Each structure stands twice: as C-alpha cells, then as structure tokens.
Structure 1
Amino acid sequence: MDFRDEANLDASQVETGGGGSRIPGGGLAIGGGAAGIIALIAALIFGVNPGDMLGRDTPSGVQPTSNLSQRCRTGADADQVEECRVVGVVNSIQEYWEGAFERRGREAYTQARTRLFQQQVQTACGTATSAVGPFYCPGDQRVYLDLGFFDELQSQFGAKGGPFAQAYVIAHEYGHHVQNLLGTMNQVGNDREGPTSGSVRLELQADCYAGVWTKNAVNTGFYAQPFTRQDIQEALDAAAAVGDDRIQERARGRVDPEAFTHGTSEQRTKWFTTGYESGDPARCDTFSGAI
C-alpha cells in the first residue's frame, strides 16, 4: 500500500481534536468501519442502550489542522506517518466518489471531513468516547476516528490488522456518507435488527462501496500501484473479524441472528469482494433480494 511520493495531500479534509457545546437533536451515528459502531455492538451483546452512550452534542468550532497541513504534504509523508496515511486514504476515497457521482450524472458529491480524536469527541450525533469505535455522523457529515481503535481491532477482535485494514475501515465509513447523500439511509427506518434488517443491508452496502473504492483507488492518483493480494487479504480479514456471528460467539458463546445489525463474517467479506471485483457501485444493491 504505497502512495505516490509526489502526490499532493489535502490535509484540510482531516480535522484534529474535539470540543463543542450542547444542543438537542442530531440523530444516531451510523457505524460500520471494522467493528461497526461499538455502541450498537454493546447494545446487542450487553443490553446497553446506545442512547446512553451517545449524548446530544454538536461541534462548536473545529481545531485548526495546521499541524497536519505542515506534516502531511505529499504521498511520501503518507508512507511515513500514520495521520498522513489517513489523510491520503481520505483524499483518495473522496476523489473517487467525486468522479463517480459526476459520471453517473448525479448532483455534485459533497465532501465529508474525518475528525481524529482521542478519548472523547462531541458530534451532532452525540458525545462519543473512544469505546464507540469509528463511525459516521449524518448530522454533521463527518467520519470520526480514534486511531487507537486499530490496536483493539487486533487485540479484541482477532484481526491481523495492517495499513489496508485501516483503509478498509475508513472506506466503509465513507460508504455511509455516500448512502447519506443518496438518501439510502432513509430506507432503514426502525428496521435495525435481524438477519435481513435494513441495518444489516446498509452495513453490507457500505462494505461493498469500500470494495468499489479499493478497485478504483489507483486511478485517483494517490497510489503508486494497485493494491496487492496481501492488502486485499487485510481488508477481508478485518471484515470477517467483525461479523455479527463472530462477535456474538466471542462475547456470548452463541449466535443470535435476530440481534444482527451488521451482517455475518461471510456476508461482509462477500459484499466487499463484490465491490472489489466489479468496481461498480451499481453492483452494491443490498436492498433488493437475498443478501
């Protein structure tokens, strides 16, 4: 997973820090990434109400990204510094989706920023701690990411990890942003649990969108060459590690399909692969027929 040394990075797409004031509203954060939104996983495993973990706060002022802008200027920086790698991945993902929207004659793609945080962050979807894991908030159109999550992906979920596992997580969350722009999220409603629920279909489609970007990433100009077999295996391993069945088996010792929110390990790898092999977002229709 090597970036082109001369690729120009746009660090303005990634914010650092938190802060905010308390206001009502905002809606529920949409999870996925590698583990999905951990609040929802906690709900199905421990009976925790996600609303108890996510308050109703929204950002009031963003900390400047001057440090990232100074450190993350080229693809060479992305190969050396983790935060810069995140910038490079985000830049590539958004470059792809901007072109995809334009090619399909849709209204212009609206960029979503990624905010890196530690311990706690306030969002339009609530106050989230690092325990929530990566998530997308439609209320403020941001992806939230604590980089420490990727250590947990290996230690708690048994994934092998690696740079491309991280890229898969970010691409999945931007898949939710695409769903938000296209209005797909409206199809879920309150259908949030069960093996064929709207929530599962939404998450599997985000996995498929992550695969689509993976196939097309080299054409965005940020990568030196197509991803390797090892890169793809890192993504597939991460997707499998956080299937509902694997998570429930590890936590409960049994599997309850009626509590599924993200799909099984097999489904998650299947839909990522569908996106990767086709490279076509139109092949990611998880809302029609069997999944």
Structure 2
Amino acid sequence: MTFNEGMRIDTSTTSSSGGGGGGGGGRGIAVGGGIGGLLIVVVALFLGVDPGTVLPQGGAGQYDSQGADSSGFDVSQCKTGKDANDILGCRIIATGNSVDGVWSQLMQGYTRPKIRLFSNQVQTACGPATTDVGPFYCPGDKTAYFDTSFFQVLVDQFGSSGGPLAQEYVVAHEFGHHVQDLQGTLGRAQQGPGGAEGNSVRTELQADCYGGVWAHYAAITKQEGTDVTFLEPLTDKDIQDALSAASSVGDDRIQQSSSGRVNPESWTHGSSAARQYWFTEGYRTGDPSQCDTFSAQDLHE
C-alpha cells in the first residue's frame, strides 16, 4: 500500500526513545498485538509457566510520558506521504494518522492515542517492556508502542511477507485495542475462561476485525487540511500481505513451530484461520458492528 505523497504526517502525538531503564506505574495491563513476545507467552503457557516469570523486566525507575532521548528515532524527518513510503518509522506514524482519520468518522467521541517508537526497552504506564514483547497497547497511558526492528522479525521468524500492508496491519490492530479501550470493552480480555473460545482470543480477533475496517476505508478517507486521501487504492497483493501477517501470528502456527504441538486451551490470540477471517470480515463490510466477536458462536478457527 502506498501513501499519497500529498498527505502531511502529523507527529504531534508521537514520541521516540532509545533504550531505557525499567520501572513503571503498573497502571493497567498491556495488550499485545499477538506478535513478538507472544511466542514467549505461548511457550510459557504451554509449559504451565507464569509468563510474568519469563517476560523481560527492567529495574526500578519512574514512568516518563515522553522520555525521548537523543538515541531515539528522529520523527522530524517525517513530513509527507513520500517519507512514509520510504522510511519505516514514518510509515508507522502515517498509518496511525490514517487510522485516526478513519475512526474519527466511524466513532463518535473518538480520541487519538499516542504513538511511541522505541528500541531495546521502554518504560510505560503498564510497566517496563522490551523489544521481545513486540508491538502493544497500554491503556494506562493510551499509547501504542512499536519497535521498528520487530517488523523484520515478523518476516524472519514468523514467516510473514514484508509488504507495507503487513506492517500497517500491525499498527491498525494496536489502534483497534485503543478503540476497545474507548468502548470500555478492552478489560473483557482479562475476564472469563481462557482458551480458543475465551475472551482474550475474542478481544484480539475483534482488534483484527477493526484493522480490516480501517483497510476498507483507508484509500477513500481524505486527510483534513490537505483534501487528499491518506493512501492510494489497495491492490490484491496488499490484502495478501495483511493476511500473511495475520496468519503468521496465529496461536496454532506459533505453537506448532515452537514446540511441535498445538494446545488450544492455552491460546490467547486465536488461530491463523480465525485471524485471517476476522480481518477479512472487517475489510469486506467496513462495519464495526460486524466485529462483535464476543457474541459470535463460531470464531472460524
């Protein structure tokens, strides 16, 4: 997917940092995109280990809502759609702009989340996190966190295609968790039984569906102030890239590759087939009401 070169990148909600200490206020629970550190979590759950004992933790420190330092990504280089097409960090920010533009029209009272680009490790209102955890959303500070190096991991370790929409799908998914946060439904991920039919899986699949809803409108939503669409029309290859990313982070595929066994009782994000189905459903309909995974009798696993 190609950004319209006439769009302007708004970096006002974005901050960036390099490595940092741990610590954090412990307010809220970070919700992952089903990627990166999911491999650690899935293996831990499969083996009956508390994931909290294997996820990286930092030392003591204070949460800083900005925390930018000189080693972080230089967001000032992100000005136009051309920069988004050429530079991954700018593409993440521009995708966030696009998702904001879509949801501002779809959801009354929508407010923009923050974006934080980091490397190595980062302090958040949900506690410390490292690159190993992958992209995630923290409701405690209304921020979506991305380490740009993860997107190569998505290709090298998870077998995803490397196309732009595969990357943009990840951003749209994390913003989907922000929409859930605004709706008051994000906390359902921590309620009820787990496993393939549990609320954690349903929460992640709904975020996949919301990502599809964004893709439905991405090429027809105009940016306020420029009167140009954020993105050029999607191609079949673009959609295949997104579906490739969704499939590559299915619980069943990750478990099979990491342990040779599939245990649906420990799933937290859904199967490859389900993740592809719900993204496609959002993309096909463009209707957030069709993303009610919590009421669905069949998750299409």
Q: Same fold (TM over 0.5)?
A: yes
Give the C-alpha shift of residue 147 in structure 1: 0.8
Cα drift, residue 157 of structure 1: 1.0
Residue 95 of structure 2 is matched in structure 1 by 89
Select which of 269, 272, 278 maps to 2:285: 278
Contact 2:36 / 2:133 at 8 angstroms: preserved in 1? Answer: no
1:266 aligns with 2:273: yes
Residue 2 (structure 1) aligned with residue 2 (structure 2): yes
With over 3 angstroms needed to count, the CA separation of the structure-2 counterparts of 1:223 and 1:40, relative to structure 1, is same
Contact map agreement 2:139 2:178 (CA 8 A) in 1: yes
In the TM superposition, what is the alpha-carbon distance from 1:254 to its structure 2 partner?
Answer: 1.2
- TM-score in terms of structure 1 length: 0.90
Q: What SS does the aligned partner of 1:9 have?
A: coil
1:231 aligns with 2:238: yes
Residue of structure 1 in register with 2:64 after alignment: 60
RMSD: 2.3
For residues 27-42 of structure 1, the aligned pairs below 5 Å read 27-32=28-33, 34-35=35-36, 37-42=38-43
Question: CA-to-partner distance for each residue in 1:70-129, whole Å, 9 max, x for gaps?
Answer: 311111221222211111101000111111113xxxxx1121111111111111111111
Larger helix proportion, structure 1 or 2? 1
Point out where structure 1 has 5 or more consecutive residues left out of the alignment: 103-107
Task: Report the CA distance between 1:219 and its aligned residue.
Answer: 2.5
CA deviations over 1:168-206 (Å, ceiling 9, x no partner): 001001100100110112323343631100000000000
Runs of 4+ in 1 over 4 A off after TM superposition: 18-21, 33-39, 45-48, 54-58, 63-69
Structure 1 residues 191-247: Cα deviation after superposition (integer angstroms, max 9, x where no partner): 363110000000000000000000001123343422111011000011111111111
Query: Residue type matched to 2:205 in 1?
Result: L
Q: How does 1:159-238 map to 2 (within 5 A)?
A: 159-191=160-192, 193-221=194-222, 222-238=229-245
- Structure 2 CA distance for partners of 1:68 and 1:267, relative to 1, 3 Å: same
Contact 1:209/1:284, CA 8 A, preserved across alignment? yes
C-alpha distance in 2 between matches for 1:194 and 1:253:
18
| Secondary structure of the structure 2 residue equivalent to 1:51 | helix
SS in 1 for 2:262: coil
Gap change, CA 1:277 and 1:57, over 3 Å in 2:
farther
Structure 2 match to 1:105:
none
Task: Choose 202-211 or 223-232, whichever is displaced more.
Answer: 223-232
Structure 1 window deviating more from structure 2 (77-86 vs 14-23): it is: 14-23
Q: TM-score, normalised by structure 2?
A: 0.87
What runs of 5+ residues in structure 2 fail to find an aligned partner?
A: 223-228
